[in-house]
Amino acid sequence: MSKAVVSTLYDSDVFRMACRQFDQAADAINLPEDIRDRTKYPRRCLAVSLPVRRDNGGVTVFEGYRVQHNLSTGPSKGGIRFHESVTLGEVAALAMWMSWKCSLVGLPYGGAKGGVIVNPRELSLSELEHLSRRYMQEMIGFVGPEVDIAAPDVGTNEQIMAWMMDTYSNHVGHISPGVVTGKPISLGGSEGRREATGAGIAYLVGKYLEDMKIPINGSTVAIQGFGNVGSESAAALSSMGAKIVAVSDYTGGIYNAAGIDIKKALAYLRYARTLKDFDGGEPIANDRLLELDCTVLIPAALERVITKDNAPRLKCRLLAEGANGPTTNEADRIIEARGDIELIPDILCNSGGVIVSYFEWLQNLQSFYWSRDDVIAKLHAILDKAKDSVEYQKRKLKFGRRLAALTLGIGRVAEAKQKRGLFP
Ligand code: NAD
């Protein structure tokens, strides 16, 4: 069988990591050779230059991307990241994981992701608006409610989604809320979307701790990243009785063995915009936080923070991957060989975000809006089903939990592609 002729377009550590995960899963389920490359590599991508008028009268050109990994099982779906370390390869890896995630939890979507190389903290509000609108303007022929639907990711939020939706709607001549999710509720956002990823993580952590016969009440949690995912996980877990002993952001972390007052930390963050100098505990470095003795460790910032160097030193009982791709392939092997840490893999653990994004899109298409209780009940039902299917696959095929989740996600995408056939 001939192999794909693949350029170096996406080549990067994180894309190679996603490809290795794919290869391992494809081997584990004997995925036929003739479907592998078609399932593995992104379908298409767009790279754009984004000139933005600065407040001082000058112009800065930013670079942005959108990668659509899979369009065979529905429109593609995935967040947009504004961060200075974005690369096309990173966006491609994140798009790939979105495909497996949507497939694993049974959503009618393929995976996509977008990104702009920018530190949004260095832009004024009006510069951020110009950049967001320009990005969507450049994407207009490439996205849409039936083609590709965006959402927030690192460095983007509800306001940015609102500007993007407005830009797209102005172009098509009528309001088109279904082009992005994670919008403000006043513009067709869903009840429960803002907290969905963190609420889903907390729900699954609760379920897995139950399986491990560890009471959540009094269990300790360390969280790296205190943005949407990290802070909402912290709020949900602390309301379930867990003690949040450490949180961090890009400036560093805070440790408090007696438990951090999460409401106070959130109030401080709203005013100071970072956790720096928050007096709710003692300072702790981000890499030390990962090695804390705790019941649950939640990486909720960027990829590849758990490596072959720190994996032998982790002291958590449960590793709940809030971020996408936080654990390298080498660290995965070490954690599995240790056998004393349970893992909730990213494509299951943080799927609450895209599940409620799907609910938001459905509500937009039907112009019929659900209550928060409805949203949460439906979210839990999907998470329960996905967890059961992962546990069944894990037992049946004697796989680790990541391999179980990946083989389910990848297997379904490959099957759909095979059934559709190869055009022309
Ligand atoms: P965010 O921008 O709201 O928050 C990111 C947090 O990480 C911030 O607190 C930031 O200061 C911190 N951070 C950045 N660089 C860091 C570093 N080097 N060390 C420590 N902390 C650092 O982003 P988010 O939406 O919370 O996304 C976090 C992760 O969760 C990403 O991997 C994202 O892809 C994933 N995710 C997000 C969603 C969602 O709904 N937003 C859904 C699924 C997965």
Q: pLDDT of 108-163, one tens digit each?
A: 999 999 999 999 999 999 999 999 999 999 999 999 999 999 999 999 999 999 99
Average model confidence (pLDDT) across the chain: 97
**Residue from 228, 348, 355 to probe ligand 1 pocket by mutation (most atoms less than 8 Å from CB):** 228
pLDDT digits (tens, 9 = 90+) for 188-230: 999 999 999 999 999 999 999 999 999 999 999 999 999 999 9
Please check whether residue 101 is in contact with residue 73, taking contact to mean a CB–CB distance below 8 angstroms: no
- The answer, yes or no, to whether residue 55 has pLDDT greater than 60, is yes
pLDDT at 1: 54
Q: Report CA(225)–ligand 1 centroid distance (Å).
A: 6
Q: Report CA(226)–ligand 1 centroid distance (Å).
A: 7
Q: Report CA(422)–ligand 1 centroid distance (Å).
A: 37
Nearest CA to ligand 1 atom 28: 301
pLDDT digits (tens, 9 = 90+) for 359-373: 999 999 999 999 999
CA–CA distance, 415 with 421 (Å, rounded to integer): 10
pLDDT digits (tens, 9 = 90+) for 327-351: 999 999 999 999 999 999 999 999 9
Residue ranges lining ligand 1, Cβ < 6 Å: 152-155, 197, 224-230, 248-250, 286, 300-302, 322-324, 350, 353
User: What atom of ligand 1 comes closest to residue 303's alpha carbon?
Assistant: 32
Q: Report CA(33)–ligand 1 centroid distance (Å).
A: 36
User: What atom of ligand 1 comes closest to residue 323's alpha carbon?
Assistant: 32
pLDDT at 5: 73
pLDDT at 2: 64
